[in-house]
């Protein structure tokens, strides 16, 4: 009996969306330095030069990845809520979007101002704060401060950064309790930071 010929599985069609998705998977798994055009091409099963039909450079690729990630940040609260609740909602949405991709944070911090999605979000935040009566200078500083807080909080886990040996230090003997619940500790710390930041703004808020 003749055997049926083996039909090779076709390689999925190369597209900008697929390149960005696989690049983000690679970046999440192996880190920012591991993402090269050659390595990405191997992951996609194509030749590296074919990537340049969709992405003109590695920086353009990374900017596209940034745009994909921060497209999940919600700034709509600035059109629906008073400024304090809007800042809080935006901060948490931003934190959650970046928390899933901490390896991207260093590039995001450097490229935010040139990515279309980021610029649209910055415009929405600034407009919302200005409508609430904040001066341009104050609105800019508020938005920058929230971004600093989010980048730092999403970059790495405070609770996960301690080794078991930390318990040998006299004032860190209960470190295991922290290490067992890193997400809970980290979110509580971020909440404290945002709550205190907003409380401070209340003292200087426009009438």
| DSSP letters for the chain | -PPPPPPPPPPPPP-HHHHHHHHHHHHHHH-GGG--HHHHHHHHTS-HHHHTTT-SSHHHHHHHHHHHHHTT---THHHHS-HHHHHHHHHHHHHHHHHT-GGGHHHHHHHGGGSHHHHHHHHHHHHHHHHTT--HHHHHHHHHHHHHHHHHHHHS-TGGG--GGGGGSGGGTTHHHHHH-HHHHHHHHHHHHHHHHHHHHHTT---
Flag whether pLDDT at 175 surpasses 90: no
Name, in order, each residue with C-beta under 8 angstroms of 17's C-beta and a sequence gap of 6 or more: none
Calpha distance 111→33 (Å, rounded): 16
Q: What is the pLDDT of residue 52?
A: 94
Q: What is the mean pLDDT of residues 55-79?
A: 96
Asked whether 55 and 16 are in contact (CB, 8 A), the reply is yes
- pLDDT at position 7: 46
- Band of residue 136 on the pLDDT scale cut at 50, 70, 90: very high
pLDDT confidence bin for 149, thresholds 50/70/90? very high
Percent of the chain with pLDDT over 70: 94
pTM > 0.75? yes
Q: Could you tell me the sign of the dihedral formed by the alpha carbons of 198, 200, 206, 207, in that order? A: positive
**How is the chain split into domains, by residue range?**
16-55, 73-202
Predicted confidence (pLDDT) per residue in 177-193, tens digit: 888 899 999 999 999 99
Q: How confident is the model at residue 3 (pLDDT cuts 50, 70, 90)?
A: low
CATH class of the 16-55 domain in this structure: mainly alpha
Neighbours of 194 (CB within 10 A): 19
Closest by Cα among 83, 89, 122, 93 to 201: 83
* pLDDT at residue 86 greater than cutoff 60: yes
User: Which pLDDT score, from 0 to 100, does residue 163 have?
Assistant: 87
Domains 16-55 and 73-202 share a fold: no
pLDDT for 155-164, tens place per residue?
A: 999 988 888 8
149: tokens are 């807080």
Other CB atoms closer than 10 Å to residue 181's CB: what's the count?
A: 12
CATH no. for 73-202? 1.10.357.10
For residues 129-135, give the mean pLDDT: 97
């Amino acid at each position: 009996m003749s055997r049926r010929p083996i039909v090779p599985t076709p390689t999925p069609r190369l597209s900008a969306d697929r390149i960005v998705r696989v690049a983000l998977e690679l970046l999440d798994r192996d880190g920012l330095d591991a993402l090269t055009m050659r390595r990405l091409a191997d992951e996609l099963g194509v030749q590296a030069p074919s990537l340049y039909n969709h992405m003109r450079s590695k920086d353009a690729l990374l900017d596209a990845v940034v745009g994909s990630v921060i497209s999940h940040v919600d700034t709509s609260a600035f059109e629906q809520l008073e400024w304090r609740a809007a800042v809080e909602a935006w901060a948490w949405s931003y934190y959650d979007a970046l928390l899933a991709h901490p390896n991207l944070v260093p590039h995001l911090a450097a490229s935010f101002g040139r990515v279309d999605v980021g610029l649209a979000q910055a415009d929405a935040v600034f407009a919302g704060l200005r409508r609430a009566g904040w001066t341009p200078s104050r609105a800019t500083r508020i938005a920058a401060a929230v971004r600093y807080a989010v980048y730092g909080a999403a970059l790495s886990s405070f609770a996960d950064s301690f080794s078991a040996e930390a318990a040998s230090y006299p004032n860190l003997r209960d470190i295991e309790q922290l290490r067992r619940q890193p997400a809970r500790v980290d979110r509580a710390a971020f909440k404290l930071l945002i709550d205190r930041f907003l409380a401070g703004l209340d003292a200087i808020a426009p009438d």
